[in-house]
Amino acid sequence: MLTLLLAAGALLALYLFGKRNFSYWRRRGVAHDPPLAFFGNNARNYFMRRSITELAVELYRRYPTERVVGFYRANRPELLLRDPALARRVLATDFAHFHRRGMTPQHRPPEPLLRNLFFADGDLWRLLRQHMTPTFTSGKLKAMFPLVVERAEKLQARALAAAGGETDARDLMARYTTDFIGACGFGLDTDALSDDDSAFRRLGARIFRVGLFEILVLVLRDLFPALFGGLRVLWPIEKDFRRLVDDVLRRRAGEPSGRHDFIDQLLECRKKGLVEIDSIERPPERVRLELDDEIVAAQVFVFFVAGFETSSSATSMTLHLLAHHPAAQRRAQAEVDAVLARHGGRLSYDAVKEMTYLEWTLMEGMRLFPSLGFLMRECARAYTFEELGLTVDAGVRVMVPLQALHTDPQYWEQPDEFRPERHEPARQGPHYKLAFLPFGGGPRACIGERLGLMQSLAGLAAVLARCTVRPAPGAPRHPRVDPLSGVVQGVRGGLPLLFEERTPAAS
């Protein structure tokens, strides 16, 4: 009997431990779904049934009259913002309270490759941002553009070679972004567009391959942070990636090479030595940082990850949407033809900047299927939403559900329709800048926005100048989101399209 009582007591204690924080939103009067012990409201994500973005969209639409909705990721309370004005306050106006992204385990140093501008928090983030902002000036992007053109021309050749058959646009654009990153990030000719077994392409695929090990680590870190918060999800690829970066640095002997690529820009930053700023975590203290090889490798890693996945997602989805909207595709092609005719038939930095309708098509693709389906911030110290009478504690994460905001009929007329003209400045409504955030917002907005746009538009222009895309037989018009998607959204089964050769109208 005593054994049974002890076992029952242990089970009860375990159950209570698994729901220890579940009164957080009830006590604050915040609407939320009933949570499950241990899993909170995130069970379907842990069991690979829904992506984080899909759960956020469902929650957003289930509470149409609420400005905020509560959520539990395991036992950790999070707040989903339904009001874009509140989102702007968190991202920008009251940034001092929400400067943390909160994407790494609390109270532990981040993994070496995560000591980068996207994942870093606090003073490390601020120092890196100050170090790296000069890397993305218009002048430096323009100097880098010839490297973009070379890769765009290879993309065009690969698309033409595929004409007459079915091609996975997701894979095609991933090869293009891989070649772009190799050239503009590492100074390497990776040949991912020509070589089906490119080592660089394999590395990219390996980084984004989510297997049982990665899922298990992420789930254990959420469910039992005290025990498993120190588990590292990137250690299987960390050694190979560091070796790649170290090889590039050795070839340059630690000095800029004159290629104007990303490693050159980082080496120029490193030559400046220590950078000192006011602490964002412990004002009025001053903090300092010097870019050592480990931090350089971490910045190259995030350049690789951000450029590889976000741009290929955005451009391939835009091609998919154009395939299903031939009138919009013809208009985009007519613009590309006319602009290239004015520039001697060659892509250039200035030519791409003139392709306004093409940019609108890309913006519309990112509205309907944003590469980042959500933004996350963590409360650095207690914060009160005055109009709600709601105070959240330090450590609570706040989510901005981009996919839901981008398709809310309250802000967009017929939101499920593909209409590039929405993005014409004269047609942008009063909520446009609040409800459309494909590159984030505030001080932590994407630092590489202009570089990503430049690369994506060049790739789209190169394809559309010589090819017309059409839906592949049997391929779904609305592809299913991959439930394993994390920060960046993916789709199941790729994006198969038919590529047909065309002759530019201006030639």
Q: Residue 449's closest CA among 127, 137, 103? A: 137
Specify which residues 501 forms β-bridges with.
467
Q: Is the dihedral of CA 171, 174, 180, 183 positive or negative?
A: negative
User: Cα 269–273–275 angle (5° rounding)?
Assistant: 85
Query: Looking at the DSSP assignment, which residues form a beta bridge with residue 400?
Result: 375
Classified as helix, coil or strand, 289 is strand
List the beta strands (DSSP E) in 153-258: 166-168
CB neighbours of residue 452 within 10 Å: 22
- When computed from its CA atoms, the radius of gyration of the chain, rounded to whole angstroms, is 24
Beta strands in 345-479 (DSSP E): 375-378, 383-385, 390-392, 397-400, 467-471
Give me the residue label for tokens 């070679």.
161
Q: Are 299 and 117 in contact (CB under 8 A)?
A: yes
- List the strands of the sheet with 397-400, edge to edge: 68-73, 76-81, 397-400, 375-378
Distances (CA, A) of 5 to 12, 22, 175: 10, 26, 61
Q: Is 501 helix (H, G, I), strand (E, B) or coil?
A: strand
Residue 397 near residue 307, CB atoms below 8 Å: no
Would you say 446 is a known binding-site residue? yes
Tokens 């201006």, located at residue:
506
Task: Give the amino acid at 330.
Answer: R
Nearby residues of 170 by Cβ (< 8 Å), 6 or more positions away:
312, 313, 316, 491, 494, 495
Amino acid found at 349:
Y
How far is it, in rounded angstroms, from Cα 136 to Cα 418? 31
Neighbours of 215 (CB within 10 A): 16
The H-or-E segment that residue 271 falls in is helix 262-271
Q: Within 13 Å, how many C-alpha atoms sit on residue 413's CB side?
A: 9
Asked whether the beta carbons of 489 and 375 are under 8 A apart, the reply is no
Contact 368, 406 (CB under 8 A): yes
C-alpha closest to that of 416 among 434, 435, 427, 403: 403
Residues 6 or more apart whose CB falls under 8 angstroms from that of 184 comprise 144, 147, 148, 261, 262, 307, 451, 455
Binding positions are 446
Binding site members for heme? 446
